[in-house]
Structure 1
Amino acid sequence: MDTVGAAPTWPSTDEPVRGPGRGHPWRRAAAVVAALLLVVVSAVVGCRIAGSDGITPVPQLLAFLPWLLAPGAVALLLAAYGRWRTGMAWALAALAVTGWYTQPYGAETTRPHGQVLAQLRVLTSNTEFGWATDDLITTVRREKPDIVFVEECAFVCADALEQRVPKADYPYRDVVREDGSAGSAILSRFPLRPAPVIPSEMAMPGAVAVIAGKDVRLQLAHPMPPLPGQEAKWRRELGRVRDFAAGAEQQGQAVILAGDFNATQDHALFRSVLDAGALHDSARLTGHSRTYSWPADRTTPLRTQIDHVLVSGRDFKATASRFLTVRGTDHRALRVDLTLYGE
């Protein structure tokens, strides 16, 4: 029996204060997955902000930095489903910062000095153990580059270049005969003289080309890739490429540095090569800074640009670039048209 005069009681309508994902099990699971995704995205983007390439898996993930927008967006949706407001704010911040760093790195133009000395075309191609040699030769005949850089030029590649590419077309050559991925080659219409190589497991030859009376330092780049657990080799060899660029800048040399760098503009080491040598990425200069070059022969959407032609900004202007499919290799070739300036 109710007590006479007592105030009536009503069922409470207040909901308990809930943390991220608390309540329904699916909402809790969504919040947990969102947190895991955000930790990964934030770690990689944090290294990008700090100018560090980190340790595995950061160097590998940095190569595909723009693709981190996808897990960031998924994390945002999961945080919203899990009613995790902090997670939603975290995801929005991660997306904003990732989006900011998808912008191209480096200046949009070069400022060469002097008058126009020559127009030339450069081609770089990784033939993947020489398997793409036939199509490379076809590409060279069609595109008619003045200078050709070839990475992973195995014995079969070196022999084919010797036998099937006329000396009349490319009378000057620097070919390093090694098997597998270690071989490399530079073919040139312009006179070459020897220059120091960069020590590496896969050959990185160099030469000095005389173009319209001006010395131009040519250097092939092919450092080891940042394989999990072997980043030290990648750092060491790409660091030597950076040291070369810095030395060339100190000497005031005109430079064409081309090849398979196994690095993108989102790697701090690659950016240090540009900065140390006052070099510019030709693809960036011609509006193709995010055009992929690898992998070329797979169906995965995860693709990136690791093949580059870098030039000294006071000597060159890049007028056009194009990434070309070469059958038989997992890399696309890069063709660049350059204008050389000088006194």
Structure 2
Amino acid sequence: MAERTPVGVRRGSRPVTVLVGLVAAGFAAFALARGLGLERGFPLVPLMAYTPYAAGAAVLAVALAGVLRRWVSLAVLSVAAAVLVAAVVPRAAVFFAVTDMGGPELRVATFNVLGGGARIDEIVGLVREHGVDVLALQEVTPEVLADLSAAGLDDLLPYTVDHSGAGVEGSTVHAALPLTDAGALNGPDGFAMPVAAMEVPGARYGGAVEVVSVHTPPPLNAEYVAAWETELAALTAPPPEGVRRILAGDFNATLDHAALRDVLDSGYLDAAAELGEGTRPTWPVLGRTLPPVTIDHVLVDPGMGVADLEVVEVTGSDHRAVVVTVTLPGGR
């Protein structure tokens, strides 16, 4: 006679089946949104920043569904996990970068100073110790700018495009080479995103380069999400003919956001992702109330090489600085 499963086990298995099914459906919806770039509005936009964590959790869920022998849920979870892992692993572990384009190098750094909360002496020390040639700063007030000058930043990077402002609205670009203020990419109600133009001696086509200090609004509510989308879209505007552009700053977006991938598709490479370090977290540092994510980036023209990425903590800011060596093409 066939052995019968106890009634209590049969009844108890149905809630487990439903629970695993709901988990599978949740991961499937998240994977679909990430895979097709469907995230819209609040709270889905900020949630998408945590795709690397979702990918890890999905893999664990696959294992659990297998142990519990929920085969339909296992199949759904396997597909969802594959989509999420495929989105994360290349930028986290695969080296794509061309590190040397045969021309001059620029050591480019970006840092959000938290409206003046960051230690001024450590910012100047960062520039000195890492040999920074171009520094993009966000949340710069006139007082911060004066303090940086007094601490010796002007001795290291004497040229500045100053779009500092009250509170968190201002941004600046500092460089060892002469700069020209080429306007801004932000809209009338956005944070300052100044464009600094320079000529790099020894680079091909006259070495015309623009550096943009990027700062988009954080997508913390429905209104901010709309502004965030508008400001990221502004970054897709092409540079002038013959100019190579670098976007460096606090994008308040990860590579799991379709809006930032649109910026890349307009003609940029993410330096960290090219170096297989695209999941190194840059925010938050202070308090760590949220899991850390990667929202500070250096994006470069595809004709540039990248190497030696460093992520550096500076006391007093909830962001880490990102420092990258950028190589321009050499020759005529």
Please give the TM-score of this superposition, normalised by the length of structure 2.
0.86
**SS of the residue 2:172 aligns to:** strand
Query: In 2, are the aligned partners of 1:44 and 1:58 still within 8 Å (CA)?
Result: no
Q: Do residues 313 (structure 1) and 306 (structure 2) align?
A: no
Q: Partners in 2 of 1:55 and 1:42 — Cα distance?
A: 19
Q: Do residues 100 (structure 1) and 86 (structure 2) align?
A: yes
Which of these residues, 143, 154, 170, is aligned with residue 183 of structure 1? 170
Which of these residues, 139, 147, 151, is aligned with residue 152 of structure 1? 139
1:239 maps to: 233
Give the paired residue count. 321
Residue identity opposite 2:325 in structure 1? D
**SS of the residue 1:129 aligns to:** helix
Residue identity opposite 2:231 in structure 1? E
Give the number of the structure whose residues are more often helix, by fraction.
2
Q: Partners in 2 of 1:204 and 1:107 — Cα distance?
A: 30
Q: Partners in 2 of 1:268 and 1:22 — Cα distance?
A: 45
2:209 maps to: 216
Instruction: Summarize the Cα distance change of 1:119–1:111 in structure 2 as closer, same or farther, 3 Å threshold.
Output: closer
**SS of the residue 2:247 aligns to:** strand
Q: Partners in 2 of 1:309 and 1:260 — Cα distance?
A: 9
Please give the TM-score of this superposition, normalised by the length of structure 1.
0.84
Unaligned 5+ residue runs, structure 2? none
Q: Do residues 47 (structure 1) and 36 (structure 2) align?
A: no
**SS of the residue 1:167 aligns to:** helix
Task: Kindly state the Cα deviation for residue 51 of structure 1 after the two structures are TM-superposed.
Answer: 2.7
Residue identity opposite 1:321 in structure 2? L
Which of these residues, 174, 180, 188, is aligned with residue 161 of structure 2? 174
**SS of the residue 1:313 aligns to:** coil
Q: Do residues 65 (structure 1) and 65 (structure 2) align?
A: no
2:266 maps to: 276
Query: In 2, are the aligned partners of 1:133 and 1:157 still within 8 Å (CA)?
Result: no
Q: Partners in 2 of 1:164 and 1:310 — Cα distance?
A: 29
1:84 maps to: 70
2:285 maps to: 296
Q: Do residues 332 (structure 1) and 311 (structure 2) align?
A: no
**SS of the residue 1:59 aligns to:** helix
Q: Partners in 2 of 1:308 and 1:154 — Cα distance?
A: 21
2:123 maps to: 136
Which of these residues, 240, 243, 263, is aligned with residue 253 of structure 2? 263
Identity %: 30
**SS of the residue 1:24 aligns to:** helix
Instruction: Summarize the Cα distance change of 1:258–1:307 in structure 2 as closer, same or farther, 3 Å threshold.
Output: same
Larger radius of gyration: 1
Query: In 2, are the aligned partners of 1:222 and 1:261 still within 8 Å (CA)?
Result: yes
Which of these residues, 101, 106, 109, is aligned with residue 97 of structure 2? 109
Residue identity opposite 1:263 in structure 2? A
**SS of the residue 2:315 aligns to:** coil
Instruction: Summarize the Cα distance change of 1:85–1:192 in structure 2 as closer, same or farther, 3 Å threshold.
Output: same
**SS of the residue 1:195 aligns to:** strand
Q: Do residues 285 (structure 1) and 274 (structure 2) align?
A: yes
Q: Do residues 37 (structure 1) and 32 (structure 2) align?
A: no
Query: In 2, are the aligned partners of 1:31 and 1:78 still within 8 Å (CA)?
Result: no
Task: Kindly state the Cα deviation for residue 211 of structure 1 after the two structures are TM-superposed.
Answer: 1.4
Task: Kindly state the Cα deviation for residue 138 of structure 1 after the two structures are TM-superposed.
Answer: 2.6
Task: Kindly state the Cα deviation for residue 32 of structure 1 after the two structures are TM-superposed.
Answer: 3.2
Once superposed, what is the RMSD of the aligned Cα atoms?
Answer: 2.8
**SS of the residue 1:196 aligns to:** strand
Instruction: Summarize the Cα distance change of 1:168–1:328 in structure 2 as closer, same or farther, 3 Å threshold.
Output: closer
**SS of the residue 2:144 aligns to:** helix
Instruction: Summarize the Cα distance change of 1:112–1:252 in structure 2 as closer, same or farther, 3 Å threshold.
Output: farther
The structure whose RCO (Cα within 8 Å, separation 6+) is larger is 2
1:56 maps to: 42
